[in-house]
């Protein structure tokens, strides 16, 4: 007895052959192989479909995994490679506030004489002075430490 599916997966023979190749050769990431096996199991073009619970038990995945793979297949318009492949990042990573100019200003500040009442610069003292400077963005003391370490600068 077949289950009524919201998003039926229908594969053409070329796509089916590619998915079989992905699952039988061991040169692909495990997540890609798992999604390819799910697509092959959900394929309705080869005959009657099994129940989702039977497929999930056979492939040792959850019912939610079956639902998500079928949803992704439908969302990509039936594109097999977009379904089994890694999803591309929607947004680029956050740009670092430390540019070459900021780094130069920070090193120049660390090379200058320590303020009155202090024998030497500390990371927290540098953090306070960077916050007071208008042309340098506010940086955390750990970020300041990474910048100085990258340039082999020792606060002595």
Confidence of residue 1 (pLDDT cuts 50, 70, 90): very low
Distance CA 33, CA 156 (A): 54
Helix axes 123-132, 141-150, angle to 10 degrees: 110
d(CA 64, CA 52): 10
pLDDT value, residue 2:
43
Other beta carbons within 10 angstroms of residue 39's beta carbon come to 24
pLDDT for position 7: 76
Full-model pTM: 0.57
For residues 75 and 58, give the distance between their C-alpha atoms in angstroms, rounded to a whole number.
25
Tell me the average pLDDT across 76-88. 87
Give the DSSP letter string of 25-38. SS-S-HHHHHHHHH
CA torsion angle 115 120 122 124 (round to 10)? -20
Q: Could you report the per-residue pLDDT of 145-155, keeping only the tens digit for each?
A: 999 999 999 88
Orientation of helix 52-59 relative to helix 63-75, angle to 10°: 100
* Tens-place pLDDT, residues 119-144: 999 999 999 999 998 888 999 999 99
CA distance 143 to 109: 15
Instruction: Check: CB of residue 110 under 8 Å from CB of residue 148.
Output: yes
Please tell me the least confidently modeled range out of 20-29, 90-99, 143-152: 90-99
Q: Which pLDDT band, with edges at 50, 70 and 90, does 4 fall under?
A: very low
Q: Where are the strands (E) in the chain, listed by range?
A: none
Inter-residue contact 39 to 19 (CB < 8 Å): yes
* Nearest in space to 19 (alpha carbons), one of 32, 3, 6, 4: 32
Q: Is 9 helix (H, G, I), strand (E, B) or coil?
A: strand
């Amino acid at each position: 007895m077949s289950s009524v599916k919201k998003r039926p997966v229908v594969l053409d023979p070329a796509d089916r052959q590619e998915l079989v190749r992905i699952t039988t050769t061991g040169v692909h990431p495990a997540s890609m192989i798992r999604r390819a096996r799910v697509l092959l199991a959900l394929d309705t073009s080869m005959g009657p479909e099994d129940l989702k619970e039977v497929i999930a038990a056979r492939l040792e995945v959850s019912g939610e995994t079956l639902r998500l793979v079928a949803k992704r297949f439908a969302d990509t318009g039936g594109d097999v490679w977009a379904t089994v492949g890694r999803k591309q990042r929607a947004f680029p990573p956050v740009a670092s506030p430390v540019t070459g100019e900021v780094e130069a200003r920070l090193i120049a500040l660390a090379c200058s004489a320590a303020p009155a009442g202090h024998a030497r610069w500390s990371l927290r003292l540098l953090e306070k002075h960077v916050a007071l400077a208008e042309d340098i963005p506010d940086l955390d003391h750990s970020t300041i430490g990474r910048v100085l370490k990258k340039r082999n600068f020792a606060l002595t």
